[in-house]
Structure 1
Amino acid sequence: MTATAAPLDLLLLPTWLVPVEPAGVVLKEHGLGIRDGRIAFIGPREAALKQPALETRELPGMLLSPGLINAHGHAAMSLFRGLADDLPLMTWLEKHIWPAEAKWVDEAFVRDGTDLAIAEQIKGGITCFSDMYFYPKVASDCVHNSGMRAQIAIPILDFPIPGASTPDDALRQGIELFGDLKHHPRIKITFGPHAPYTVCDDNLEKIRVIAEELDAAIHMHVHETAFEVQQAVEQTGERPLARLGRLGLLGPRFQAVHMTQISEDDLALLVESNTSVIHCPESNLKLASGFCPVERLWQAGVNVAIGTDGAASNNDLDLLGETRTAAMLAKAVAGSATALDAHRALRMATLNGARAMGLESEIGSLEVGKAADIVAFDLSGLAQQPIYDPVSQLIYATGRDCVKHLWVAGKQLLDDRRLTRMDEQQLTATAIAWGQRISGHSE
């Protein structure tokens, strides 16, 4: 850096800094400088203290990492948290969730539910999330106002949904929203055909053409359960992933969510097409949907990111906890204690999520020039001692209540566990009011 450079807006001085790229590195007693919403400096503490800065913050006992990236969820479904627990996926959807959505989901529901989810995620160290739910314009307004970063997937199904009477109507709205937000610094619009069993070939074809024209991503539930795959094979003789491959949807812009069922042919298709897989272990465990073979995918070179899924099937949006579950489950599924070690688990929750969304040049690691999406975890507590490897402590011994500070594009959204732009009491009261309305009227 030249001596004539403008002063840093903020200099952070944590005990540990984990850049994620390069892989496996922990920098001790280093500083990170932010200017104009971007990372402008990373270097040893002594050199950092020589940088002119408008504000300097000492973060003793803290680990600075890239903000966590929640690569799959349904934000507004936070208002259905705990509504229909301990049921298999199709019963949960058809008998409980879809009827509740038909009855309750409107713009106000999506606004209040999305705000609740955003606040929960900020408090849990998440700086960017992927959302796939109704009234995507309302959700994108919530993201814009919150200062957070998000990928908003336009939901498309063959039947009418809240906010869109036909698939063509949903696509038209999606194209319009894509156009309106294509220069937004923190919001990316993608297309979200719900699942292979709810979207026909004709509509998938339309989505593929539009996504190609706009260079937009496609985000879709695929192979969530063995039943889904088995039913498709019985009806058509073709596995859903193979069908998506035949229709030309797979590729580096395709995000396949869940993928609990993976044959050798499926694996070859994923590798060949450079498709990303979004792993949602806790939702899959809770709905008994199956296990995504993460280590097998990773060793084959597939980009695997991680998501919480919606709070209606998880029941929290705790990506740090999700990452711990993913690391444990990967070992059990692979039958190997070395599968998905702590450093790779953190990479899955950061840079791999960014890569899946096509944002890896912007976020996902702490590198000079990237957006300053950063989280500070406090590892000074009793339960984290002693510390041999701070990344291991973060993944295996730390809960989201240790998230102390959080910045998105250099703006602080969480300061000493306090939300800076959202009213936590108001959000809680609104959620309680929704719960009373829904429980008071639902059978």
Structure 2
Amino acid sequence: MNEAAAQSVDLLIEARWVVPVEPHGVVLEHHAVVVRDDVIVALLPIDEARAAYAPKQTVKLPAHALIPGLVNAHTHNPMTLLRGLADDLPLMTWLEEHIWPVEGKVMGPEFIRDGVELAIAEMLRGGTTCANENYFFPDAIAATYKRYGFRAVVGLPVIEFPSPWAKTRDEYFERALTVHDELRGNKLLTSAFVPHAPYTVSDESFERIRVLADQLDIPVHLHLHETQKEVDDAKRESGLRPFQRLQKLGLVNDRLIAVHMTAVTDAEIAACAEAGVSVVHCPESNLKLASGFCPAEKFREAGVNLAIGTDGCASNNDLDMFGEMRVAAQLAKAVAHKADAFDAAFALRAATLHGARAMGLGERIGSIEPGKQADLAAVRLDALESRPLYDVASQLVYATGRHQVSDVWIAGQRKLADRELIGMDVPDLLERVEAWRGRIAAI
């Protein structure tokens, strides 16, 4: 094809390897991704791409794997400012005696803004391009994500006790609907209801959420069966396991994003598969809080859409999805007593396409396919720690660190270039973070 016939496009990314995730398990060598505006228009061999397209910019990645941007399916990103605050404590002690009291004293729009900004910087440097957010002040959260062009599902919180965000049940719902309306038509931001957990949300609130989620066509994202104690307490108080209660209330359906799910029965796993529930596995947080082990391989074998999340930095203590993939795969093998459980290709799929599907974004992101948004991450695989290389997916999951992420795009816009954040004032951010450290440490 002569130059005159070449199609004009915005971006051509030439990579040593492309891991599209869909089709599953495929690794393409010496391929290029072609982007026009914010959309992937082609994925083809580099020589063919050079002949067919006239890009405004070409990025060559001769020692890199190009993957879909990682999708963190469960986060509390303002809590980056609480990283390491109350470590080595059981879940309810950590939550009730440390985290909630501190949050009550510092939570507000500025805390939210700075925490989310720190999280965005950390996520971009780790190849994450989308987060499923679960926290208070969703208006401030959304404004910060919008400012930096980061993709997110913004949680609309509901809980039965007052917070700096809302004082009554009605106010939680009123403010949630206002934020949802403000996000209509935004290309990067959508919303979901985020009732905290069955033990902090009433039947009346859950019933309102079910009706509204159906009307608005948005997910319901909550902590569920995080510990055996949660299940035992619920049975003692109501005679029902939390999952049974949600079934009774009509919330076990394909909108439900159930996070943690450590204390579950085989029947509950089967019910999740039948109803189309998505489960988010947060292995590092569960391990650190001694919450239990999600039977991830059983969920996978049942055909449940299984995604991966980091949880918040107060309980993890990072937003490292490469580390999370590795631990998820290794832990699943140990729990299942099967070395071939939760293989590397599946771990990468859980951290990309399955997260996108859980959040209602599976048609937009999560894989490198024509027609999808150009959310991409490039990972260098030529360092001595990544050599020799026999299997790209295996190397990404078991031998790669987030420091090897070199470049990131969201909707075709470059956010990280050769490890440098674009459009973020890092010194100013760190100065604000240090001010928060001093304030919080003095509480």
TM-score (norm 1): 0.98
Residues 24-423 of structure 1 aligned to structure 2 (within 5 Å): 24-50=25-51, 51-423=53-425
Tell me the secondary structure at the aligned position of residue 339 of structure 1. Answer: coil
Q: Is the 8 A contact 1:242 1:269 kept in 2?
A: no
Cross-structure match for 1:20: 21
Q: Secondary structure at the match of 1:162?
A: coil
How far off is 1:433 after superposition? 1.0
Q: Secondary structure at the match of 2:430?
A: helix
CA contact (8 A) 2:406 2:419 kept: yes
Alpha-carbon offset, residue 198 of structure 1: 0.1
Give how far 1:265 is off: 2.3
Q: Using the alignment, how far apart are the partners of 1:439 and 1:181 within structure 2? A: 35
User: Could you say what secondary structure the match of 2:54 adopts?
Assistant: coil
In the aligned structure 2, how far is the partner of 1:244 from the partner of 1:297?
A: 19
Give, in whole Å, the separation in 2 of the partners of 1:335 and 1:421.
46
Equivalents in 2 of 1:413, 1:308: separation in Å?
21
Letter in 2 for 1:21: E
Deviation at 1:4, TM superposition (A): 6.0
In structure 2, C-alpha distance between the alignment counterparts of 1:6 and 1:103, rounded to whole Å: 57
One-letter identity of the residue aligned with 1:263: T
Deviation at 1:55, TM superposition (A): 1.3
Partners of 1:163 and 1:233 lie apart in 2 by 31
Structure 1: distance between partners of 2:430 and 2:333:
37
CA contact (8 A) 2:6 2:54 kept: no
Q: Structure 1 stretches of 5 or more lacking a match?
A: none
Question: Which amino acid counterpart does residue 390 of structure 1 have in structure 2?
Answer: V
Moved more, 97-106 or 173-182: 173-182
Cα deviation per residue 1:255-300 (whole Å; 9 max; x = unaligned)?
Answer: 0011011102211221221100011000000000001011100100
Counterpart AA for 2:218 = A
Whether the 8 Å contact between 1:67 and 1:126 is mirrored in structure 2 is yes
The number of equivalent residue pairs is 441
Tell whether the 8 Å contact from 2:332 to 2:341 is kept in structure 1 after alignment: yes
1:167 Cα offset (Å): 2.0
Amino acid at match of 2:152: A
Structure 1 position 6, deviation (Å): 4.3
Structure 2 gaps of 5+ residues are none
Contact 1:182 1:189 in 2 (8 A): no
Query: Separation in 1 of the partners of 2:214 and 2:174?
Result: 15
Letter in 2 for 1:35: R
Kindly state the Cα deviation for residue 106 of structure 1 after the two structures are TM-superposed. 1.0
Amino acid corresponding to residue 102 of structure 1 in structure 2? G
Cα deviation, 1:71-130, whole Å, max 9, x if unaligned, reads: 001000011100000000000011000100111111111111111111111111000001
Q: Is 1:17–1:65's contact at 8 Å kept on the other side of the alignment? A: yes
- Runs of 4+ in structure 1 off by over 2 angstroms are 1-6
Aligned-pair CA distance for 1:46: 1.2
Provide the secondary structure at the position in 2 that maps to 1:182: coil
What are the Cα deviations for residues 327-357 of structure 1, in whole angstroms up to 9, with x where unaligned?
A: 1001000000000111000000000000101
Contact 1:245 1:269 survives alignment (8 Å): no
SS at match of 2:155: strand
In structure 2, give the amino acid aligned to 1:48.
A
How far has the Cα of 1:155 moved from its partner? 1.2
Amino acid corresponding to residue 72 of structure 2 in structure 1: N
Distance in structure 2 (CA, Å) of the matches to 1:390 and 1:266: 35
Shift of 1:188: 0.7
Matched AA of 1:192: V
Does structure 1 retain, via aligned residues, the 8 Å contact 2:254–2:278?
yes
What is the TM-score normalised by the length of structure 2?
0.98
Task: State the SS of the aligned residue for 2:32.
Answer: strand
Q: The residue matched to 2:264 in structure 1 has which SS?
A: coil
Alpha-carbon separation, structure 2, partners of 1:140 and 1:167: 22
SS in 2 for 1:142: helix
Q: What amino acid is aligned across from residue 43 of structure 1 in structure 2?
A: L
